[in-house]
Amino acid sequence: MIFNKIIEILKSKTRNKIRIKNNFKKIEKKRSDKLYAIDGGNCLIMDGGTWYLSKIRISCVTYDNGKKIYNKKETETIVLVHNEGLRNNKKTVIAEELNLPEFDFKKIKFEEIIGYVRKYLELKTGLKKLKEMKNGETLLIDGLLACELEENKKIVKKMIEIAQKNKINLVGFAKTTRMLKNGRNYLSIVKNTGDELGLKKWVYALNENEALVKLNENSNRVFRIQYFGDLKNISEILCFYSRDKSILGYPYPLLKADLTARISRREAKSEKNRTILFLKKMGLKEVEQDLLSQDLHKKLDEIAYK
């Protein structure tokens, strides 16, 4: 019964063919110019209810002419997120040796704060790299450039200024996109239309600084990018770097940056044990019991995955 209903809904959604503007540009060349890719990873170490400890790692990789010339963990830090009081809703973030601004987290969910801090650190790393970069080079950041948080917006603004001044391509690359048109996935509509037109690699401009891209003829993946710079150049460079056989159609340097930044479950566990030991040493034995009483999900997950 339920499936009949699903089929009925889906049929109604796909019944009408959605027409889109022909904004397609075929990507005909590949450029192997220097490309910087930045990504971050984070994990939860401890959740104390009104506070949690997380680890964030930001990495940057650089490729030139297809060869890796730089691969480094740029930032690695433990972050404490603290809800000072439920009445005043004041949430603070403390990270050792990082000069973090006073964020305004009022509208942001407590558990999502760490994601915003990570984005902030990614953008800060991007800004630092942009200052080192030269004309014609490309900076690729995981995720779109549009930000909710005021502090992040400020950094993006600075980044755009430097990129435009020095003629550097600045690209935000979204791994996941939820764009709908008439209740349907817009990326899929654009992809199907591209296929109908017989296009194999293309760029589809959404607006002045936004586009959808399909970067490899043997891949079905379409991504959304936000960019500042020459779209033709950008698409040709992305196209060159999206030919890795393990992940056709996705820029390999971003994968490499992700792998470098990623914090494994094992590493998170080790950080947790280290922290518990430290807290015990400092006379805070109750913390371990607090943590044990809160959440059994992780333990169940571990058992299930063995």
Residue 30 Cα distances to 49, 175, 238, 249, angstroms: 50, 21, 8, 13
198 touches another protein (CB under 8 A): no
CB of 137 to another protein, least distance (A): 18
Pull the structure tokens for residue 232.
Answer: 């033709």
Contact 160, 208 (CB under 8 A): no
Contact 40, 142 (CB under 8 A): yes
Q: Which amino acid is at 228?
A: F
Q: Helix axis angle, 150-165 relative to 113-132, nearest 10°?
A: 20
Which of 68, 131, 265, 299 binds another protein (CB under 8 A)? It is 68
Q: Which is nearer to another protein, 89 or 218 (CB)?
A: 218
The Cα 156–Cα 177 span in angstroms is 20
Q: Which is nearer to another protein, 53 or 222 (CB)?
A: 222
Q: Which amino acid is at 131?
A: K
- Convert residues 259-298 into a mask of x (bound to another protein by CB under 8 A) and - (unbound): ----------------------------------------
Q: Which is nearer to another protein, 88 or 246 (CB)?
A: 246
Q: Which of 294, 283, 292 is nearest to 49 (CA)?
A: 294
Q: Which is nearer to another protein, 217 or 288 (CB)?
A: 217
Q: Which is nearer to another protein, 52 or 241 (CB)?
A: 241
31 touches another protein (CB under 8 A): no
CB of 144 to another protein, least distance (A): 24
Which of 119, 129, 214, 256 binds another protein (CB under 8 A)? It is 256
Place of tokens 């200024």: 161
Q: Which is nearer to another protein, 29 or 128 (CB)?
A: 29
- Convert residues 75-114 into a mask of x (bound to another protein by CB under 8 A) and - (unbound): ----------------------------------------
Pull the structure tokens for residue 49.
Answer: 């209810």
Which of 19, 106, 134, 245 binds another protein (CB under 8 A)? It is 245
243 touches another protein (CB under 8 A): yes
Q: Measured at the alpha carbon of residue 186, what is the angle toward residues 183 and 190, in degrees to the nearest 5?
A: 140
List Cβ neighbours of 185 (8 Å cut-off, separation of 6 or more). Answer: 179
CB of 73 to another protein, least distance (A): 16
Which of 13, 26, 29, 66 binds another protein (CB under 8 A)? It is 66
The Cα 180–Cα 187 span in angstroms is 8
Task: State the distance between the two ends of the chain, measured CA to CA, in whole angstroms.
Answer: 36
CB of 246 to another protein, least distance (A): 5
252 touches another protein (CB under 8 A): yes
Contact 71, 59 (CB under 8 A): yes
Which of 176, 246, 289, 293 binds another protein (CB under 8 A)? It is 246
Q: Which amino acid is at 94?
A: I
129 touches another protein (CB under 8 A): no
Q: Which is nearer to another protein, 11 or 67 (CB)?
A: 67
Q: 114: alpha, beta or left, given left = phi > 0 and alpha = psi -120 to 50?
A: alpha
Interacting residue ranges for another protein, rule: CB under 8 A: 63, 66, 68, 216-218, 241, 243-246, 248, 252-253, 256
